[in-house]
Amino acid sequence: MTKRKRSIFLIILLGLAVSPLLTIRVAAQSDHAKAFGMKLKCMCKGCDMTAGGCSHPGGAFSGPCETAKGMLKEVDQHIAKGESDEQIMQAFVQEYGSVVYVEPPKHGFGLVAWIMPFFYIILGLALVVFFIKKWRKQAINAPATAHAQAAINPTGEFQRARAQADRETEE
C-alpha cells in the first residue's frame, strides 16, 4: 500500500471510530431535553401529559405529538445555547404562562400547593382524635347510666317480663 492510501484508510477508520461519540453527544442532549421535558406540561390541549412523556394513548397514533416534539426541540436549542434549567423553565413560563408547570414551584403562591396536603393531614388526624374521644366518652357514660336506671327504676319491659314469669310459675 502506498503512503497516501494508508493515510486515507486511517482517516476513514478514524471517522468511523469518532462518529459514535458524536451521536452519543447528540443523544445525551436529547436525553437531557427529554428529562427536562418531564417537568413541562405538553401544551397541545389534547392530553394532560408531560412534554417528555406525551404519547396520546387511544388516539389515531401513539407517540409524542407535534407540540411535544417542538417543545423538546426548543429545550434542545436552549441547552445548546448553554442555558441553565432555571433559565429554560423561565423561557417556557414567559411563552406559555404558569400552566406549563407540571408541579407548582416551591416558592411564592405555588408554595401553598405544597403545604396544603400536610395541613389537611393534620386537620384530618385532629378530627379523628376528637371524634374518637367523644365516642369513647359516650360509650363509658352510656352503659353505666342505663344500668343504674334499670336497677333503680325498672322499665315497663322489665315489669311485664316479671309479671309474665310470675303467672307462668303459679300455674
Considering only residues 147 and 131, tell me which one the structure prediction assigns the higher pLDDT: 131
Residues sharing a CB contact under 8 Å with residue 123, sequence separation 6 or more, in sequence order: none
Considering only residues 113 and 15, tell me which one the structure prediction assigns the higher pLDDT: 113
Contact 38, 98 (CB under 8 A): no
Tell me the CA end-to-end span of the chain in Å, nearest whole number: 134
State pTM to two decimals: 0.50
- CA count, 13 A, side-chain hemisphere, 36: 25
Q: Measured at the alpha carbon of residue 39, what is the angle toward residues 78 and 95, in degrees to the nearest 5?
A: 55
CB atoms within 10 A of CB 136: 10
CB atoms within 10 A of CB 64: 23
Question: How do residues 58-87 score in pLDDT, each as one tens digit?
Answer: 555 566 777 888 888 898 888 888 888 889
Set of cell numbers at residue 33: 431535553
- How sure is the predictor about 25, in pLDDT bands with cuts at 50, 70 and 90? very low
Distance CA 95, CA 137 (A): 59
Contact 43, 100 (CB under 8 A): yes
- How sure is the predictor about 132, in pLDDT bands with cuts at 50, 70 and 90? very high
Query: Residue 125: its pLDDT value, please?
Result: 96
- How sure is the predictor about 149, in pLDDT bands with cuts at 50, 70 and 90? low
Query: Residue 29: its pLDDT value, please?
Result: 45
